[in-house]
């Protein structure tokens, strides 16, 4: 937890499946002669603005039923937003936080090897590309997200340490994928940790995210089985008039010092360089995934002042405690400043102090988490916290040094528990006509 930020009218069936991992032009008509769904989505943003100007919910309810072919034109900007599948990097890394997320790990089935893994990644890539464009999956689509549009869906794929032995590719396993060290604060459930394959799904619509999860699971077929699966959420887009750094379930602003793509050294910190080793990881990144339970009953017994001392920032606006009564979330933190009693304003064991890159040899990682709540346990305690996902070019220089330091004296450690963990090599994005991981599996 490092510091971080209508009328129901039938819709025609989607055109026949495209060839794997290839995109047709946005203006291409469907085989039935009806304008393609993607072309309709292209007008959705403007349509959403027009609906808003018509007077909100009242104007929307009064609108006549849309013609069958225009149903997806009812999408507003949230539903119409589309992330790109193809690119130098996989989606789901630098995209804005999404409202709903699913994390799922798979183990290859007994007897499945490199050939079966390649076929699976090819299927998964085809499905991800189609669903991210707001189209139906190629095989037996469930229609769960038929009316929802792309909704910023991203699907990201990674390989665990065990994948390489299962596929006979041990010589291609990156050194950076060596198992994470043990930490004294760990209470890890092995059944919910690691895995041969990892998939991250995010979207701004819950049905779209669930639809993608089901499609990915169905595509796995007999080649792989689910090892573990977790569900998360964030603030819904559009809930605030401008983007704000997210809050976690402790009520704290979380993500203030996250690296930003606009920074000159962002790519160096987050992505494997083009000349990296192994070559198949060029443009890729390493994801550390942790289920961090928050002991909310204990946390909420603290006064706001005590909570702020644990974090080192004001709870109301995220300003550092060293800024006194002024300052903002982005005000520089003065680690040496003291109060009238001579004590440091930012306590020596404050979470925000310990996780600073300049306190950890420049170690930095891109935190992109989801909150989770999985109900109330038998003792009446909420099973809730953070699905921590962080990205870096090398976890031994990103996550590991920061977590080691947190392990030695972070004031927050009393109120959290690391319950599962995974490390995954996430290759670069697929080019047109390729599938994710092709350079590894066919190289």
Give catalytic residue positions. Answer: 254
DSSP class of residue 142 equals -
CB 363 within 8 A of CB 402: yes
Query: Which tokens go with 353?
Result: 């102090």
- Scanning 225-333, the segments in alpha helix (DSSP H) are 266-270, 296-299, 304-311
CB 105 within 8 A of CB 194: yes
* Cα–Cα distance measured from residue 430 to residue 23, given in angstroms and rounded to the nearest whole number: 13
Partners of residue 423 on adjacent β-strands: 288
β-strands 197-203, 154-159 pairing: antiparallel
Q: C-alpha distances in angstroms, 103 versus 124, 263, 290, 385, 440?
A: 15, 28, 11, 15, 23
The C-alpha R_g of the chain, in whole angstroms, comes to: 23
* Cα–Cα distance measured from residue 136 to residue 149, given in angstroms and rounded to the nearest whole number: 10
* Cα–Cα distance measured from residue 316 to residue 320, given in angstroms and rounded to the nearest whole number: 11
CA geometry: angle 222, 226, 232, nearest 5 deg: 145
Could you count the other beta carbons within 10 Å of the beta carbon of residue 170? 9
Three-state secondary-structure class, residue 78: helix
* Cα–Cα distance measured from residue 310 to residue 332, given in angstroms and rounded to the nearest whole number: 18
* Cα–Cα distance measured from residue 393 to residue 95, given in angstroms and rounded to the nearest whole number: 17
Sign of CA dihedral 409, 413, 419, 421: negative
First to last CA, the chain: 37
Can you point out the beta strands (E) in 114-181? 154-159
């Amino acid at each position: 937890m490092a510091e971080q930020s209508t009328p129901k009218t039938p819709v025609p069936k989607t055109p026949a499946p495209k060839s794997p991992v290839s995109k047709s032009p946005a203006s291409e008509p469907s085989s039935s002669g009806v304008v393609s769904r993607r072309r309709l989505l292209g007008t959705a943003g403007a349509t959403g603005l027009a609906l808003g100007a018509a007077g909100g919910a009242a104007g929307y309810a009064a609108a006549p039923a849309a013609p069958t072919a225009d149903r997806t034109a009812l999408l507003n900007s949230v539903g119409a937003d589309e992330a790109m599948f193809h690119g130098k990097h996989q989606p789901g890394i630098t995209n804005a936080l999404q409202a709903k997320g699913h994390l799922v790990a798979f183990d290859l089935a007994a007897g499945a090897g490199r050939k079966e893994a390649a076929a699976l990644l090819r299927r998964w890539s085809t499905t991800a590309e189609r669903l991210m464009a707001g189209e139906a999956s190629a095989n037996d689509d469930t229609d769960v997200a038929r009316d929802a549009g792309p909704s910023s869906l991203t699907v990201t794929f990674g390989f665990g340490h065990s994948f390489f032995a299962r596929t006979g590719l041990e010589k291609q396993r990156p050194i950076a994928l060596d198992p994470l060290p043990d930490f004294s604060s760990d209470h890890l459930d092995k059944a919910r940790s690691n895995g041969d394959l990892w998939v991250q799904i995010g979207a701004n619509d819950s049905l779209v995210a669930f639809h993608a999860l089901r499609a990915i699971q169905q595509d796995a077929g007999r080649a792989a089985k689910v090892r573990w699966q977790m569900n998360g959420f964030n603030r819904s887009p559009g809930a605030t008039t401008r983007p704000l750094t997210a809050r976690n379930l402790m009520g704290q602003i979380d993500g203030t010092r996250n690296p930003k793509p606009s920074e000159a050294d962002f790519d160096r910190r987050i992505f494997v360089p083009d000349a990296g080793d192994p070559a198949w990881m060029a443009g890729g990144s390493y994801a550390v995934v942790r289920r961090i339970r928050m002991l909310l009953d204990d946390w909420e017994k603290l006064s706001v002042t005590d909570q702020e001392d644990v974090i080192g920032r004001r709870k109301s606006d995220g300003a550092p405690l060293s800024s006194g009564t002024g300052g903002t979330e982005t005000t520089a933190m003065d680690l040496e400043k003291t109060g009238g009693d001579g004590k440091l304003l930012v306590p020596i064991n404050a979470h925000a102090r310990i996780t600073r890159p300049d306190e950890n040899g420049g170690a930095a990682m891109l935190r992109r988490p989801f909150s989770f709540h999985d109900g109330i346990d038998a003792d009446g305690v909420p099973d809730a916290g953070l699905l921590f996902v962080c990205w870096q070019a090398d976890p031994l220089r990103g996550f590991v040094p920061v977590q080691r330091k947190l392990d030695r004296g972070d004031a927050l450690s009393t109120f959290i528990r690391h319950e599962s963990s995974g490390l995954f090599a996430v290759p670069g994005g697929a080019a047109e006509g390729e599938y994710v991981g092709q350079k590894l599996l066919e190289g």
